[in-house]
């Protein structure tokens, strides 16, 4: 947990935060919405909604190309958002921030533009058993193309990376790159990324950190982490869907060939050949998701203005409350009991299918996720096909955590 024995956040502070999210005030049938699917996507504050609307209403134009006022304003908003993201994650230079469609595209970019030219037959791409499919499949594809192998470090019964095994793989295998998640979307495990990164550096292995879940739940400073790459998605940081970020060390980005061609990533084109711009433009071919970038910039600025440490402590308290309540229900099994957890409570209930649990809870206005959470290898590791997953964010309340527990208790009685 981020903060031990944290006091509950002041009601007026939480009310102000919740008031920024218009969707939270609605009802699902006769029940107030309890949104506990934040690991899938977070809701959007009015500041983000207004920024996207304002862009389309007042500044809609393509960027980097026009000399007219709309284009100039749109370009400024786009690059201001890049600067906001760089500041938010501690990137030394805005040129190290590449806008992508999300974490998935960011990982694919690194796989094909950075890793593929370096990989040779027999090389190992080191992952962990808890990775999201987005941090597995791109590596499998590039491994198939190069003759490399994907090797996962095992996960313990509690849902923690086996660090002894992780270190031994770095020592004994020809590891060419290590890619691992900061916070597990399916278990809530907070990985010891500083330790993992240090071990990889000592072995001379470049690294990629999947921070999709982490950026809204922990301070993320790429300079302090000293990772080679870090990726995250805007929609899990209270921003729009379809926009994400890849941070990369400047030397890597400068050496990487383009991932896609066309549009604004070129310096000069002729039929004899083409030259390309430097990063980040080299990796942002075509008309980008300008409104998404503007919305992401607004999300970062809104989030930075909040009492984040207090809200994170509140979020951790919610997870403890829900976990303790659910664990007290006959037939409930908590999946993922790591010492360091954030946001997520995954559980099973006797013979009830996770989808049935989700359907029952939806009838009471409680939104959770049921399934394998794009982590099928991890589910296989535990001998299950999926879980019911409640995931919290800074705007959830203790009353909502209690409503979850009460509703699951009713589901347990129904299936008993």
Q: Which residues are catalytic?
A: 374
| Rounded distance between C-alpha atoms, residue 76 and residue 78, angstroms | 5
10 Å CB burial of residue 154 (0-12, 13-18, 19+) is middle
| Rounded distance between C-alpha atoms, residue 384 and residue 311, angstroms | 33
Residue 164: partners with Cβ closer than 8 Å, 6 or more residues away: none
Q: Which residue has the tokens 């938010």?
A: 88
List the structure tokens of 113.
Answer: 């533009």
Residue 198: partners with Cβ closer than 8 Å, 6 or more residues away: none
Q: Are 99 and 280 in contact (CB under 8 A)?
A: yes
| Rounded distance between C-alpha atoms, residue 25 and residue 352, angstroms | 30
Q: Are 295 and 240 in contact (CB under 8 A)?
A: yes
Residue 34: partners with Cβ closer than 8 Å, 6 or more residues away: 364, 365, 366, 367, 396, 400, 403, 404
CB atoms within 10 A of CB 194: 12
Residue 273: partners with Cβ closer than 8 Å, 6 or more residues away: none
Q: For 386, which DSSP code?
A: -
Strand arrangement, sheet containing 387-391: 332-335, 344-349, 387-391, 369-371
| Rounded distance between C-alpha atoms, residue 39 and residue 346, angstroms | 11
């Amino acid at each position: 947990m981020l903060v031990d024995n944290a006091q509950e956040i002041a009601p007026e502070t939480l009310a102000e935060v919740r008031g920024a999210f218009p969707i939270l005030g609605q009802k699902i049938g006769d029940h107030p919405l309890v949104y506990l699917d934040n690991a899938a996507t977070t809701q959007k504050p009015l500041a983000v909604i207004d920024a996207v609307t304002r862009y389309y209403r007042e500044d809609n134009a393509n960027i980097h190309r026009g000399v007219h006022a709309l284009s100039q304003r749109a370009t400024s908003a786009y690059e201001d958002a890049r600067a906001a993201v760089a500041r938010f994650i501690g990137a030394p230079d805005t040129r190290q921030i590449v806008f992508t469609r999300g974490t998935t595209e960011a990982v694919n970019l690194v796989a094909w533009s950075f890793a593929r030219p370096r990989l040779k037959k027999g090389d190992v791409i080191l992952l962990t058993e808890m990775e999201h499919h987005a941090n597995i499949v791109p590596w499998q594809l590039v491994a198939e193309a190069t003759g490399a192998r994907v090797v996962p470090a095992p996960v313990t019964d509690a849902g923690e990376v086996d660090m002894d095994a992780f270190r031994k793989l770095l020592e004994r295998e020809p590891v060419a790159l290590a890619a691992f998640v900061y916070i597990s979307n399916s278990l809530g495990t907070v990985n010891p990324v500083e330790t993992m990164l240090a071990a990889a550096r000592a072995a001379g292995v470049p690294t990629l950190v999947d921070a999709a879940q982490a950026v809204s739940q922990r301070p993320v400073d790429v300079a302090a982490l000293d990772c080679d790459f870090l990726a995250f998605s805007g929609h899990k940081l209270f921003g729009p869907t379809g926009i994400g970020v890849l941070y990369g060390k400047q030397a890597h980005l400068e050496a990487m060939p383009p991932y896609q061609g066309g549009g604004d990533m070129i310096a000069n084109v002729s039929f004899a050949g083409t030259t390309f711009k430097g990063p980040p433009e080299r990796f942002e071919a075509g008309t980008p998701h300008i409104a998404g970038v503007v919305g992401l910039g607004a999300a970062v600025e809104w989030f930075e203005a909040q009492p984040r440490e207090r809200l994170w402590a509140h979020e951790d308290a919610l997870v403890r409350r829900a976990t303790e309540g659910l664990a007290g229900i006959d037939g409930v099994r908590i999946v993922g009991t790591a010492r360091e957890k954030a946001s997520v409570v995954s559980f099973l209930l006797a013979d009830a299918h996770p989808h049935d649990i989700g359907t029952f809870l939806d009838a009471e206005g409680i939104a959770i996720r049921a399934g394998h959470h794009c982590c099928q290898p991890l589910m296989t590791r535990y001998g299950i096909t999926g879980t019911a997953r409640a995931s919290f964010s800074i705007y959830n309340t203790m009353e909502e955590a209690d409503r979850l527990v009460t509703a699951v208790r009713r589901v347990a009685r129904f299936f008993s």
